[in-house]
Amino acid sequence: MLTVGATLIALGIYFFKIPNHFSTGGVSGLSIVLAAVIKSGWLTEGMLLTAINVVLIILALVIIGRDFTFKTVYCTLLMSGLTWLLEVIYPMSEPLTHYPVLELIFAITLPAIGTAILFYEGASSGGTDIVAMIIKRFSTLNISMALFVADILIVLSTYFVFGVETWLFCVLGLISKSLFVNAVLDSINMAKSCTVITSREFEEEICNFITVTLNKSATISEAFSSAYLHESKTVIITVLNRKQMLKLKKYIKEVDPHSFIVVNSTSTIYGKGFKENL
């Protein structure tokens, strides 16, 4: 997953960000701006990207810790190396298409999905992602907001380097990226909160299916009765992924066709067996 995330980021940066000068923040955006300012024939965006990331990795090693930095070193070197390698094997002197809006969509989507995957795995692609994680550690900001704070000055600089049109694309890209990262994280963290209302005679059988077959736990309450027939009911609450929820629903309908199942989607879950929502 770390390899997939880093590769998606590299593809988005090289094929869509660099040719269009889409500096939507991050070290990749800073590298695009610096390369245009320096105007050196040999100092490419890929080289600048790698150099800046190495400095920030050292900072992460001191502040964040070894576990985070080990994953980040791998992802950063892979992402930077792929970008640098693509400059050699597939040089680009102009954008792939003549449709900047279409390219902006890919420039946002690919890195945002890759970044969300890395955050979910407790890693980062380096750059201002490291700055964002540091901000999150010492403040109440979530990652998407921390990224926005860290990136906004880089985006503002594109106005003076590339002009108004490119700057407007970069502003749109920055806002969209911050929102999209959060949306992808929510999608990755998505789970199903299932409330099962059944007769007490089926309570043990259903709970065994949840704990043994699905390898999950549940909360049980027997202090309920039906409003129409005034029968005693058991309410079982459990949180599952989508695949487990479908199995549970099928099983309960076979065991107790008269049961009720209420399913809610949620991406904010705290507790054993679930990763903390970023």
pTM of the model: 0.68
Cα 86 to chain centroid, rounded: 24
Domains in the chain with CATH codes:
2-188 (no CATH), 191-266 (3.30.70.120)
The pLDDT value given to residue 43? 79
Convert the pLDDT of each residue in 200-258 to its tens digit: 888 889 999 999 998 888 888 877 777 777 778 889 999 888 888 889 999 998 888 88
Ranges of beta strands (E only) in the chain are 191-199, 219-225, 232-240, 260-266
Compute the distance between CA of residue 19 and CA of residue 30 in angstroms, rounded to an integer: 14
Compute the distance between CA of residue 253 and CA of residue 196 in angstroms, rounded to an integer: 11
Convert the pLDDT of each residue in 97-153 to its tens digit: 889 899 999 998 898 888 888 877 877 777 776 776 666 677 766 666 666 677 788
CA nearest neighbour of 177 among 4, 76, 29, 20: 29
The pLDDT value given to residue 15? 92
CA nearest neighbour of 133 among 205, 189, 64: 64
What would the mean pLDDT of 33-40 be, rounded to a whole number? 82
As a whole number of Å, the end-to-end CA separation of the chain is: 17
